Amino acid sequence: MNRDDDCDTAEIAVSIKDITYGYTSIPVLERIDLNVRKGEVIGLLGPNGSGKSTLLKIIAGLIRPSSGSIDFGNRRRGRSNKPVIGYMPQVESIDWDFPITVEEVVALGLWNRSGVMPWSSRYVRERVHKVLEDLGMSSKVKRQIRELSGGEQKRVFLARAIVHGPELMLLDEPTTGADPSTRDDILRILYELSREEGVTIILSTHDIRGVALNLPRVVCLNKRILADGDAKDILTQDNLLRIYGLIDSMSVV
Pairing of strands 26-37, 12-23: antiparallel
The predicted-structure confidence for 206-241, as pLDDT tens digits, reads as follows: 888 889 988 999 999 999 999 999 998 998 888 888
Question: What residue ranges of the chain are covered by domains with CATH 3.40.50.300?
Answer: 1-84+166-253
The predicted-structure confidence for 55-110, as pLDDT tens digits, reads as follows: 999 999 999 999 999 999 754 444 456 788 999 988 766 666 778 899 988 988 88
Name the percent of the chain lying above pLDDT 90.
Answer: 48
What's the CA gap between 36 and 10, in Å, rounded? 10
pTM comes to 0.85
CATH topology of domain 1-84+166-253: Rossmann fold (3.40.50)
Q: Are 95 and 148 contacting, i.e. CB atoms less than 8 angstroms apart? A: no
Q: Which residues contact 160 (CB under 8 A, 6 or more apart)?
A: 86, 88, 105, 106, 108, 109
Q: Which amino acid is at 117?
A: M
Which of the pair, 247 or 174, is modelled with greater confidence?
Answer: 174
